[in-house]
Amino acid sequence: MAAALLANTLYSVGFVLEKRALTSLPEVSIRQPAKLLGLVLRSPLWIGGSLALAAGFGAQLAVYRTLPIAAAQGIFVSGLVLLVLLSARLLGEETTGRERYALGAILLALLMVVLSLKEGSDRVSRDAPYQLILLVCVPSLAAGVWLYGSAERRTRHRHRMPTTGVEYGVAVGLLYGVSSLAIKGVSSCLTSSGLGSAVVEVLRSPYPYLLLFTGAFGLVMSQAALQRCRASLIVPVCTTVTCLYTAVLGTLSFGESLPHDPLRLALRLAGTVLAVAVLLAMPKHDPAPQPPIGAKELTPP
């Protein structure tokens, strides 16, 4: 639990620092990854945010060694509250009433997942067939890249409405969901006796290569999306998709059984369904900017 809360704090601080750094940089694009990396690596604030995210990765490894996947994801979602508070305080971002209700519903879904847990009765799995992991992860990566590309093409339309970034959040969330499964896989390899055998087992598995792919593409995609959209919306969407993806597909892939008690099973399933429903109902566009008070409206003769 302590490691999960620490990971939440580090991830929230990291995203906010990166967002603040990106607001002062020239516009970045996934079509120019070298330029993007060159810009962010010259920003001390961005580097500080990246170090915080890397430390959160380490804390996440410890969580996956002690908690079932579904339980861990439920706790990770709680970091959304801290993220929204930091975004309002440090970035000046304001959420709409509809978005605040949506975040409240996500926290309710989290509470349902947490209440479905019972210490000592949830088995923590240590292994999964590599073929099954690849069967789950490769289509997910392709879907995330395709969805991000579709969102990019829509933003280039001249008369588009301002986007909230939900599509970007879903796309990056799919990549980070795969990354989360890979982290779980690496944590299972670290239980081997001896450091040397553990390293060999990790290198023989698909997990480090999935982490490299999601790390490279996720870095470029998330930075471009963070610069264009509000962190207080895009990160909660990304986090929700990542948590649901990992909780559902990770539980199935690693063979961690669902609760047998009907009440606990109902709470876990209801929490998952509620989070998905909220995600689908979130606004896809920001309100159009209002003209200044007193400005004359131009009408055709």
Which residue is listed with tokens 């339309």? 157
- The secondary structure of residue 32, as a DSSP letter, is -
Question: Within 13 Å of residue 22, how many CA atoms lie on the same side as its CB?
Answer: 27
Question: According to the model, what pLDDT value does residue 163 have?
Answer: 55
Which regions in the chain score pLDDT beneath 50? 159, 285, 288-293, 295-301
Question: According to the model, what pLDDT value does residue 78 have?
Answer: 65
Residue 164 CB contacts under 8 Å (≥ 6 apart), including other chains: 229, 230, 233, 234, 282, 283, 284, 285, 286
Question: According to the model, what pLDDT value does residue 47 have?
Answer: 92
The SS3 call for residue 162 is coil
CA separation for the pair 88, 35 (Å, rounded): 29
CA dihedral 187, 192, 196, 200 (to 10 degrees): -70
Residue 136 CB contacts under 8 Å (≥ 6 apart), including other chains: 181, 249, 253
Using an 8 Å Cβ cutoff, are 142 and 213 in contact? no
DSSP alpha helices (H): ranges in 65-206?
A: 69-76, 79-86, 97-115, 130-155, 166-189, 195-204
Question: According to the model, what pLDDT value does residue 51 have?
Answer: 92
Question: According to the model, what pLDDT value does residue 126 have?
Answer: 60
Q: Is 257 left (phi over 0), alpha (psi -120 to 50) or beta?
A: beta
What's the one-letter identity of residue 140? S
pTM above 0.85, yes or no: no
CA separation for the pair 114, 108 (Å, rounded): 10
Tokens for 219? 């870095």
What's the one-letter identity of residue 217? F
- How many helices (H) does the chain have, and how many strands (E)? 13, 0
CA separation for the pair 144, 173 (Å, rounded): 8
DSSP state string for 92-106? -----HHHHHHHHHH
